[in-house]
Structure 1
Amino acid sequence: MKKKKIIVPLLLLLVVAVYFVAFYKDKNLRYIPENADTVVLIDSKKLMGQYLFSLVAHPSSWSGSDTKGKSSASFKDSGIRIPDFLQIFHIKDTKFSEWYSVLELKDSQKFIAFLKKKQFTDKGNNSFQKDQIFLMIEGGHCIAGSSDLAFEKIKKQLLQNTANHVWDANKFIQNTLGSISFISGQKIHNFSIELNDDEIEIKNNSNQEIFNSIASKIQKGNQFLELELDQENIRNFSRFFNKSIADSSHAISLKATANLEQINDTIISYEYDDNFNEVEKKTFQKITQPNYSIDIQSKDAGKTWAYFQSKKWINGENQFTAIPFQPNQISKSNSGVVIKSTRKPVIESPQLKENYILFRNNTLLYSSLKTLSNTEKRIISDIDYVLYGNKSQDYWVKIKAKKGDLPLILRW
């Protein structure tokens, strides 16, 4: 009887401990500024649970799990406190490439030692950098970002202001691995992020049939890039680059097709001989460039042409200079303008009257990205295609990986 009295409380304590370790989540998000316009959340416990389940289900990966285990352990021992929700945000009126996150530290000195081991450069004043990752340690916190331009503002707003706004995770994420949310005033538009065996999906609607119909129409081709966008989608995407271009160009639809080609590029330089005569020297290098066709339908082709001229995007030879890949030719018709590369003709994809952007993988793409690490190149080479689709108020992005023996969570 005494043993039973002891076992029952121990079991209850075990259940409570498992609940807090595996299921309980702190849903108070303290590290998102009020002027954030985009928020990405990753459910750390769900991610770990999915990883462990996949690991158990694929014994073939166990032999190679030692390295991953050591890497994971070293990260856990780095002095960082793993949050229940990793909070990544973009601040309004900053560059699209600027993303930030704030992490809590259990031991700042241990974290600094970890950064040195990972070959981060010490820039002084507790600031560190490696490639495009910037870090700043402030007391028991670390501000991380793809830029350091907003570090001081983030420090004042989130770390020095005791009355900063605390967000509720339920406003952004609902039982999914992750979410990406766009904030506009009081409105929050949420998109779920799901990691499957060989694909990542980002969507705001669970009705898969809408996007399966789009995917089935376009997956038969072999072009590197195919896209069709209506006026609203053009306006949405132009916000990332130039807020006024969509309206100023009077574009009502955009259709484009592109392929990649490797060509020999001639570099001309000059040297001097022993008599100080100038001697031309030619060298050759292989570069990757696209062959493309872009059809812009417009409400007023004349105004579209005039807008491009006002931006000095059309030169005297009717080349569209806003596209750096030359040579090309721009022409005007009653319905719009067409821009085509002239080096090699492109077989245009059929008109589908859908909103989509499809990038297919191509060895010429990642082989030319020399600045990427071997790991980044391996991940890119593993991708089959990236597809964006839109129908009314439903949006969807799929990153499809090539079929493999292991699910993505064990491959990447």
Structure 2
Amino acid sequence: MKKFLKITAAIVILLLVFYFGFFKYRQIQANKILIPLTTETLFKINVDELYKTIAVSYIKHPGQYSGGDKKGIKEKIADLNTGLTIPANIYIYTLKGKAENTFFTRLEIADSLAFNRFMLKKLALIKKEAHFFQSADSTFSLLFNKTTVSLAFTTKKELVKNILEEIQDQKNMIKINDSKFEHIANLSDHLSFQNAENLSKINFTDGKIDFSSELVNRWIEPAAEPKHRILNPESTMSMWLNGKIKSDLIKKNHTVSPSLFSKDSFFRFYKDYADFEWTKTITQVDTIVGYEYNDDFEQVEKKILQDRKIPSIAINLSADDKAVSDYLQSLGALDQSTGKISSLMIPLYQVYFKGNNGNVLLSTVQGAKPDLKRASSDDFFYFKVDFKKLIKQTSIPLIADKLGTFNQLEIKAKSIGKDKIKLESELLFLNGDANALIQLLNTFKNGFNSSLDFNLSVDIPASK
């Protein structure tokens, strides 16, 4: 028995060594890739890490992937019979001198006959020249030989054939490990993105998408020691910002508008703090003006009171409350006796103004009195939305249809140096057992127009 166990253990160890060695070898080979010298932005899809993460999810929660189709994404892509070799990492890049939304990549062809069939039948491309094909609208271009294919996608309908020829022939290229994108090559994150000002990462785990980004900050001067008002943790939606708007941004966005929520008005009055909170649903009484005929057959005005369910919303600003009040009065938009703001300025809800001691409160609740005490934080920005409550409190079918899969979104931002911030976010799904990427594809599969049918249909219950 002991001998059997030892042999079994040795076999398992050898299989694990082979497994991890195989994926390590694929990563090493993938990172020998050449990219153009003029690459400005690089996207990386870590195919192998996605395979492994989704495979583990299938093993841990097989019941979440119900139905007769138990295939993983790798097998589903293989079913397309593209004829392409799927590498450990796929790199997509934008180039200097081309539009920011023009993307290029290069892949190897494993089966040229299968690739030709796939290109003509599935992609429905039009032959322009020998080995050069384009979509009918010229946004997708493809250049190939027997062993490789170079691709371009652009919304600007740019001329890309010369660039594709250089990529195909590996001219004016550099090894990714010798380039300014060396760091991204060694990342194990599922998706990553890098340019001169931004390094972002996305990971898809069971029931969650994690996103982080380190980027140059051109908009906000974060407070040296951020503080925020303590908001209700049970809110449907909440947000706070503790930082000054950079002066250059104010100048760029300077416009003349009579709206209280225009950029000009906001930048004019905002100092260094703002928060927003949607706590629950409340009832507001609206006055509806109608007309009817009296006994003399004369048309007379008739006012009808009607109850309406609306969000309980409060917006707090550190601002010159007297200046805001004077501004509203100058527009004839403020009823001083009630604090009500004219519906011509804010048409959706009855909103009330209250100002005191350098603080402005705009609320759908008349007589609201916020607690202005603040707590310290490492973050200068925070945002959260509870999708379950949002759907319950709104009656917009599109929201329920597309956001019903999600549970909560949370975003935080902190300063990590001069003019640099780190943004972190977490998107939670109602179903915490199925992989987030599979759930995301299922949620939006009917909302995206695509010429490719990836057959990624997996029946995933919303909850256990």
Bucket of the pairwise TM-score, normalised by the shorter protein? 0.5 to 0.7
Against the structure 1 CA distance between its residues 32 and 21, is the aligned structure 2 distance closer, same or farther, given a 3 Å change threshold?
Answer: same
Give the counterpart of 2:360 among 326, 330, 337: 337
Give the distance between the partners of 2:92 and 2:62, measured in 1 at CA: 33
> What one-letter code is carried by the residue in structure 1 that aligns with 2:118?
K
Written as runs of structure 1 = structure 2, the 5 A alignment for 1:10-89 is: 20-21=25-26, 24-26=29-31, 28=33, 30=35, 34=39, 36=41, 40-61=43-64, 63-64=66-67, 66=69, 69=72, 72-73=76-77, 76-78=80-82, 82=86, 84-87=88-91
Shift of 1:400: 2.1
Against the structure 1 CA distance between its residues 73 and 161, is the aligned structure 2 distance closer, same or farther, given a 3 Å change threshold?
Answer: closer
Give the distance between the partners of 2:399 and 2:204, measured in 1 at CA: 24
* Cα contact 1:180–1:193 (8 A) shared by 2: yes
**What is the aligned-residue identity percentage?**
15
Give the distance between the partners of 1:42 and 1:358, measured in 2 at CA: 28
Gaps of 5+ in 1: 1-10, 117-123, 129-133, 206-213, 269-286
Q: Which residue does the alignment assign to 2:386?
A: 360
Gaps of 5+ in 2: 1-14, 110-114, 125-132, 144-148, 215-225, 256-262, 290-307, 335-340, 417-421, 441-464
Give the distance between the partners of 1:32 and 1:323, measured in 2 at CA: 52
TM-score by length of 2: 0.53
Shift of 1:101: 4.3
TM-score by length of 1: 0.58
Written as runs of structure 1 = structure 2, the 5 A alignment for 1:209-248 is: 221-231=233-243, 245=263
Give the counterpart of 1:382 among 405, 409, 430: 405
> What one-letter code is carried by the residue in structure 2 that aligns with 1:317?
A
Give the distance between the partners of 1:369 and 1:111, measured in 2 at CA: 40
Written as runs of structure 1 = structure 2, the 5 A alignment for 1:87-236 is: 87=91, 101-104=103-106, 107=115, 110-111=118-119, 113-115=121-123, 126-127=135-136, 136-139=140-143, 140-144=149-153, 148=155, 150-152=156-158, 155=160, 158-159=163-164, 168=179, 169-172=181-184, 174-181=186-193, 183-184=195-196, 188-203=197-212, 221-231=233-243
* Cα contact 1:31–1:101 (8 A) shared by 2: no
Deviations 1:73-105 (A, max 9, x none): 36642466645434567899x99xx96644547
Deviations 1:231-286 (A, max 9, x none): 15x669x89x9699586554311111025759999999xxxxxxxxxxxxxxxxxx
Against the structure 1 CA distance between its residues 198 and 252, is the aligned structure 2 distance closer, same or farther, given a 3 Å change threshold?
Answer: same
Question: Is 1:397 the equivalent of 2:425?
Answer: yes
Give the counterpart of 1:294 among 315, 330, 339: 315
Structure with bigger gyration radius: 2
Shift of 1:141: 4.3
Give the distance between the partners of 1:179 and 1:329, measured in 2 at CA: 45
Give the distance between the partners of 1:263 and 1:115, measured in 2 at CA: 53
* Cα contact 1:81–1:103 (8 A) shared by 2: no
Against the structure 1 CA distance between its residues 339 and 26, is the aligned structure 2 distance closer, same or farther, given a 3 Å change threshold?
Answer: same
Give the distance between the partners of 1:72 and 1:346, measured in 2 at CA: 57
Deviations 1:103-127 (A, max 9, x none): 54753662453357xxxxxxx9614
| Number of aligned positions between the proteins | 339
* Cα contact 1:250–1:304 (8 A) shared by 2: no
* Cα contact 1:80–1:103 (8 A) shared by 2: no
Deviations 1:312-341 (A, max 9, x none): xx9532448787744434555441433323
Deviations 1:12-39 (A, max 9, x none): x999876555763235463797554xx5
Give the distance between the partners of 2:386 and 2:413, measured in 1 at CA: 18
* Cα contact 2:204–2:435 (8 A) shared by 1: no
Aligned residues: CA RMSD: 5.6
* Cα contact 1:383–1:401 (8 A) shared by 2: yes
Is the partner of 1:176 in helix, strand or coil?
coil
Against the structure 1 CA distance between its residues 395 and 243, is the aligned structure 2 distance closer, same or farther, given a 3 Å change threshold?
Answer: farther
* Cα contact 1:258–1:293 (8 A) shared by 2: yes
Q: Which residue does the alignment assign to 1:277?
A: none
Is the partner of 2:434 in helix, strand or coil?
coil
Is the partner of 1:172 in helix, strand or coil?
helix
Against the structure 1 CA distance between its residues 90 and 334, is the aligned structure 2 distance closer, same or farther, given a 3 Å change threshold?
Answer: farther
Q: Which residue does the alignment assign to 1:211?
A: none
> What one-letter code is carried by the residue in structure 1 that aligns with 2:50?
L
Against the structure 1 CA distance between its residues 219 and 255, is the aligned structure 2 distance closer, same or farther, given a 3 Å change threshold?
Answer: closer
Q: Bigger CA drift: 398-407 or 42-51?
A: 398-407
